[in-house]
Amino acid sequence: MKIDHQQAWELLCSMDRILLLTHRLPDGDALGSIFALYLVLKDLGKEVRCVTDKIPASLKAAAIPCDEPAFAPDFVVTVDVGDRKLLGEELDAQYGGRVDLCIDHHGTNSDFAKYTLVDPAAAAACEVLFDMLKGAGFAFTPAIAGELYVGIATDTGCFRYGNTTAKTMRAAADLMEYGVDTAYLNTEIFETKTREFTAFERMAMNALKTYFDGRVALMLITREMYERSGLDESDDKAINALPRQIEGVYVGITVKEKQDGQGFRVSMRSKEPVSAAEICASLGGGGHRLAAGCELTGTKEQAVETLLNAAKAVIDKVL
C-alpha cells in the first residue's frame, strides 16, 4: 500500500524493535539512508539494528558504529530497495516476504512491502528521508545530516547528473546548515582512489583505443588486469565512464572479460544523437538511451569486432 511521508513517519514513531535493510553491493545512497534512519530511530529511543553488505572502500567516511545485538524484529524497513531480490538471496529468503515499510525513490519500485513510501522525483532515497524528517519537524543532528548529504551527493554524481533538481539543491543547502563537513566528505568520497583502483585505471587507460576517426572509444578489460591490480570486481564501476569522456567520442565501450572464459560484460555510454540502447539492443542487450549494456561470448577479438560493427551501423545512420 502506498503511503505518504507523514504516514511513514507516524508508522516509524509507533514501532519498536526495528530492523533496517538495504540493497546488496550498497552505494552511497543505500548506506546514507540506512545509517541516517538508524541514527534517527536511536534518537527516538528505539531498539534498532541495521544489516548491510560490505561497505566499499570509497564510502568508509559514511560508516558509523552500529553493531547491535541481533533481535527478532517487530518491524522490518528497507531503504533504497526497488525490489526484494536486490536484498540478496539470504536476506530476501529471510525477510523479503515480510518487509513492513519500504522507503525508496525508484519509479520501478515493485511494491513488495506492506507499506511503501516512494517518490520517483527524488534524486535519492536520502532525499525522500530528508523530506519526511523535515515535514515532521525533526531536529537534524550533524551526523544525521551528513549521512543524508552522502546519499544525495553520491546519487547525483555530486550534483552533476540530470536527476539533480532545484529541490535537491535546497535539501543539500539545508543539510549543510545542520553542520555537515561537506568538503571533507566530498574529498573522501569523490577524490580518493584506492591503490588497487589506481593501478587498474592505469592499465585500463593504456588499453583504451579509438576507432572511426575517434568517434568510438573501446577499452578491453582482461582478467589479468584484475589479478595484477588486486581490484575486486565490485569496485570497478568508475572505469565505465572513461571512454566516453574523450572529446569527439560518441560511443564509449568498456568490455570486461568474465571469469573462466564465460564471455564478456559490456558497458556502453553514448552521446546524442547516438543511442547506446539501440546498439546494445542489436546485440541482445538494452538499457537507457545513453547508458546501456549487453553480454557477449566468443574470443576477445570476436567480441571487439562485433561491438565495433554494431556501433558503426548505428553511427552511420545518425552522424
Which residues sit at the interface with its own copies, rule CB under 8 A? Answer: 57, 158-162, 164-167, 169-170, 172-174, 176-177, 182-183, 186-187, 190-195, 198, 201-202, 205-206, 208, 214, 241, 244-248, 271
DSSP 8-state class, residue 20: E
> Per residue, what are the HEC states of 110-129?
CCCCCEEEECCCCCCHHHHH
Calpha distance 297→256 (Å, rounded)? 11
Give me the residues paired with residue 118 across strands.
104
Q: Which is nearer to its own copies, 110 or 165 (CB)?
A: 165
Smallest distance, its own copies to C-beta of residue 292, A: 17
Pick between residue 114 and residue 271 the one whose CB is nearest to its own copies: 271
290 φ/ψ angles, rounded to the nearest 5 degrees: -105, 5
CB of 100 or CB of 235, closer to its own copies: 235
Instruction: Supply the minimum distance, in Å, between the C-beta of residue 246 and its own copies.
Output: 5
Question: Minimum CB separation from its own copies for residue 2, in Å?
Answer: 28
Is residue 33 within 8 A of residue 80, CB to CB? The reply is yes
Q: Write down the least CB distance from residue 286 to its own copies, Å.
A: 22
| Burial of residue 206 (number of CB atoms within 10 Å: 0-12, 13-18, 19+) | exposed
Minimum gap (Å) between residue 242 Cβ and its own copies: 9
Type of residue numbered 182? T
Angle at Cα 27 formed by Cα 39 and Cα 179, nearest 5°? 45
Nearest-approach distance from CB 31 to its own copies, in angstroms = 18
Q: Nearer Cβ to its own copies, position 192 or 309?
A: 192
Question: Which pairs from 106-111 meet CB under 8 Å and 24+ separation?
Answer: 106/82, 108/82, 108/83, 109/82, 109/83, 110/82, 110/83, 110/84, 111/2
User: Kind and range of the H or E element at 286?
Assistant: strand 286-287
Instruction: Round to the nearest angstrom and report the end-to-end CA distance of the chain.
Output: 47
| Burial tier of 224 (Cβ tally within 10 Å: 0-12, 13-18, 19+) | exposed
What whole-number distance in Å separates Cα of residue 102 and Cα of residue 115?
A: 6
Q: Which is nearer to its own copies, 90 or 177 (CB)?
A: 177
Which residue number, 6 or 245, has a Cβ lying nearer to its own copies? 245
CB of residue 202 to its own copies, shortest distance in Å: 5
Q: Which is nearer to its own copies, 102 or 145 (CB)?
A: 145
C-beta closer to its own copies: residue 108 or 206: 206
**Residue 239: CB minimum distance to its own copies, A:** 13
